[in-house]
Amino acid sequence: MTPRDKGEKKDRIAAEIRRQLGTAAVRRFLHALPAFRAEKDIPDRFRDQLERLDGLENSMAGGARH
């Protein structure tokens, strides 16, 4: 296997992992886990940052990565 083939294989694997992690079923599962839920009493500045991250993730979920 040439270095180019290895690089292409890594790219395909990475794309497949991103695709699978972005599915609705996986997102529902992760949101159900306590470690993936924000605490209700976190400071507003952290809540604002989390909301910004959610917005960025949602805008990028369609594959439009910048």
pLDDT at 66: 45
- 10-residue averages of pLDDT along the chain (66 residues): 85 92 86 74 88 87 56
Three-state SS at 50: helix
pLDDT at 57: 86
* Cα-Cα-Cα-Cα dihedral sign, residues 29, 34, 36, 37: positive
Three-state SS at 35: helix
pLDDT at 14: 93
Listed by start position, the domains of the chain span 3-60
How long, in residues, is the chain? 66
pLDDT at 6: 84
